[in-house]
Each structure stands twice: as structure tokens, then as C-alpha cells.
Structure 1
């Protein structure tokens, strides 16, 4: 192999690695502590009085994971990544106590009830020129006010005890966040549930109105992933909840 061909091969190899999002570090380290690679992000700095959601490493029924506890609070654990989503995002979660005891009923379709006892979200580097003008302007202002590089598109998978499973919609505060409730009303509590999602296809389905119209959109039309997060919030309803998340990982296989 000549030097020129070898150099080209190296470039192509690097591009292939870049094309897929980096592996996600484990949530829990071998010593039983939360992996510091997952950083805590709370509400924007102008709302620092809002209590943070608590994340505690532990185990439930022999499964090591992160316990997520809310009490009129908000918070996420975020992993920064970059690249096109592999075939599937997989994780396990369980809800021990749904949102309860608050001043309002939880309802992710309304502003007053917009809380989630558990969520796993994926943020995308969606092109700003595909975002409607008014929303694009609001997003730029929000980025400036929050000090965070807020994404133009986020897909959230939520555990919701109010609506039926597979309810889909946009966050009532911003259409930059759209969700699917994988577990819904009547889902069993205190039991680990495995999930496996094609996040690129979910992005295409949820943000179809901001993608070119025509024949079926290919899966690789989804933009790069920038972050994966887990979290929970109960600030709108002033309620409490308790759940777990474990084994969040990218999987190249189709299952």
C-alpha cells in the first residue's frame, strides 16, 4: 500500500468512527458511585432556587443503577456525545412511586402538569434553518439566557402514569422537545422494564414537519446526536416520585 493510499485509508477510517456516536460510559462505576462522566444539569441559572432532582447510585432487585428522586424538583444527568446515532439506544428502568402528592395532577400535555417521573432524552444537532422563524428566535434567546447550548431538537422517552402508552406529542412549553410515553397508565410498578429504541427513526417521525417532504425519509437523514440524558422533574405539580434507570447504552444490533 502506498503512502497516499494509506493516508486516504486512515482518513476514511477516522470518518467511519466519527460517523457513529461515541459509546456511552456506564452510569454506575465498579465502586458503586455514579460515574462523573455523567454531569448534573439543573434548571437555568436564573431559577437556582428550584430544588434539584436527586440521583443516587444503588441497586434494586440485584440490578445496579441510579435511583431518581423528585420533590418539587428538576434535574438531569447528561452525557455529551457526538455523531450519528447507532442502531438502537437501550436501557432499563423501573418506577416505584409515580408522581403524587402535588398541588396539580401530572399531565405532560399541559403546562400545569408538565412533569415526568422518569425520562431518557436524546438531543440532536438539528439545523436551525429548518426551525420555524419564531421558534428559532426564541431558541436563540433561551441559549443566551441559560448559558447552555440548548439543542434545536430533543426526543424524550418518558414514563407517564396519566396517558396510555405510546402517547406522542410536543412539550407544552416548547416544540423543540417532543416525546413518546413508552410506559403509560396502568404500567406495573416496582419492576424493571427493558427498552430499545431507534432514536434516528423516532426523530424523523416526531420532527417530520421540519424535514423535506416526499418519499419515505431515509434513517440516515437524522442529524448528529449531541447529548443523552436521564432525568425527572416535579416542579410544576409540586409532587414527589421515585424510580430507577440502568444500563443506558448504544447498541449496533437491530434488537
Structure 2
């Protein structure tokens, strides 16, 4: 059964979206990775994701569907959203520190159906067929009082610690590749568009990112150095535009 978050719509202002940061990840029990490394969907059987994956959606929303499926002879993560919202969170057992060795985040992804009316620049269009997000262990005491209060309020309502910084790589439907912007609801989440439109629709695309460099571009206004990574999240939503999307994610690697 999915872990349903409490009623976020009752929260004022940005507090509602504070609950959405990387799905407000829970530290699920089970087999955790010992260090940065391979997240191998290809090694999992078809069906639901096992621990330590944690699924989070919202009350009153249809959940985005995540599951291991066979495609072109290999097992991959299938992500289907139809007027839905959902995050699939992979919590790391402890902080993965990239200070000693530069961290790269590498993965393959594929979008077969874009969320047609999505526009991540606006609240009414804040949807995407596929995002890969990384949350950081940023010292929230360095945030302003208002942002700290909203994070505390989010924790009270969810029972989960809300990440103070989340960077999402987006397969968008319209914005130019390389676009960087803040989430329309909260500065605690920031976007980098890596793929856009239908040019590569239905094709596997490989990505490899220098995480520290991307962090500096996205959050350089807050910190001179990248904090430790605390979780990785696969996300897709279409609840704001009431559309649909279909995408796939291949194995994810986090390491030097």
C-alpha cells in the first residue's frame, strides 16, 4: 500500500509545497545501500518496488504508478501518471559525501508521452512526465525564519523530515534544454531541464551530471559547497494540468 501523506491543502502558502519536496521521504526499513553506487532496476523482478524504495502521494489524488516492467528485453522502471501525483524515494542510509571524491549522477531515461499542458514555470502547470531529483543535507539553520517555519510545519503535518534543498533534473515538454529555475511553489526545490519536447520521444537518452557543479548552479546562492546527498527520487505528476504521461527510467549510478 502507498504511504499517503496528510492533507497538505490545509497548509498556508508555500508550506503545502514544502510537503512535496522529494515526496517528503520516509526512512524506510529494509536493505539500504552501504554507499553511493548502483540503483539497479534491471536486477529487480517485474512488479512493485521493494524496500528501501518508499512511495508517497497526496490525499485525494490518484497516485502516479511506479513498477518494474519488461521493455525491449530488459527490466526498467515504468512511470505512468494520469491526473496523478507521486514520488518514488530511495533514501540513503547516511549522508553520501562527495567532498572526498567528485560525485557523478548517471542514468538512462525515456519519455513516451509528455504531459501536454505542463508548464513548470507556473503553479497551474507544475507537472512533468519524468523527473530525477536529489535531496541534500543542507543546514536549515542557515535559512530564513519563514522558510524554517514552513519546513517545521511540513514535518509536523507529515511526521517526516522535509529536505531543505532538492535539485530535480526534468524531462520537460517545452522549455529549452539547460533552463534552470525555481519550483513555482517553493525555493527549496530547483529545476534543471535536460530534455525537452518530442525530439527524442520514445528514445532512451543517457545522462551523466557533475552533481557538485549542478548544485553550485542551482543553490550557489545559499552554499559555497555541496552538502551530503540524503536521497534520490523518481517523480512524475499530472495533477495540476489533469493530463497524462508515460516514461521509463533505467539504472541509476551515483559515485565518483
Scaled by the length of structure 1, the TM-score of the pair is 0.79
1:248 counterpart SS class: strand
Partner of 1:97: 113
Partner of 2:232: 228
Distance (whole Å) between structure 2 residues aligned to residue 205 and residue 110 of structure 1? 21
Partner of 1:83: 96
How far does the alpha carbon of each residue in 1:13-46 deviate from its partner, in whole angstroms, 9 at most, with x for none? xxxxxxx943344234343445413423323xxx
Distance (whole Å) between structure 2 residues aligned to residue 183 and residue 231 of structure 1? 15
8 A Cα contact 1:68 1:244, kept in partner: yes
Q: CA deviation at 1:187?
A: 3.0
Query: Which structure's CA Rg is the greater one?
Result: 1
Structure 1 stretches lacking a partner, 5+ long: 1-19, 212-216
Identify the range of structure 1 (31-40 vs 71-80) with the bigger mean alpha-carbon deviation.
Answer: 31-40
How far does the alpha carbon of each residue in 1:64-123 deviate from its partner, in whole angstroms, 9 at most, with x for none? 2111000111112111113214521111000001013xxxx2100100000111000000
8 A Cα contact 2:81 2:244, kept in partner: yes
8 A Cα contact 2:183 2:190, kept in partner: yes
Match of 2:67 among 56, 81, 85: 56
Q: CA deviation at 1:130?
A: 2.3
Structure 2 stretches lacking a partner, 5+ long: 1-33
Aligned residues: 218
Match of 2:178 among 166, 180, 187: 166
Change (3 A) 1:91 1:72: same
8 A Cα contact 2:132 2:233, kept in partner: yes
Partner of 1:245: 249
Partner of 2:13: none
Distance (whole Å) between structure 1 residues aligned to residue 240 and residue 52 of structure 2? 25
1:210 counterpart SS class: coil
Partner of 1:111: 123
8 A Cα contact 2:44 2:68, kept in partner: no
8 A Cα contact 1:70 1:233, kept in partner: yes
Partner of 1:209: 221
Distance (whole Å) between structure 1 residues aligned to residue 166 and residue 45 of structure 2? 32
Q: CA deviation at 1:56?
A: 2.3
Scaled by the length of structure 2, the TM-score of the pair is 0.79
Distance (whole Å) between structure 2 residues aligned to residue 67 and residue 186 of structure 1? 19
Which is helix-richer, 1 or 2? 1
8 A Cα contact 1:27 1:34, kept in partner: no
Match of 1:124 among 111, 132, 136: 136
The alignment yields a C-alpha RMSD, in angstroms, of: 1.9
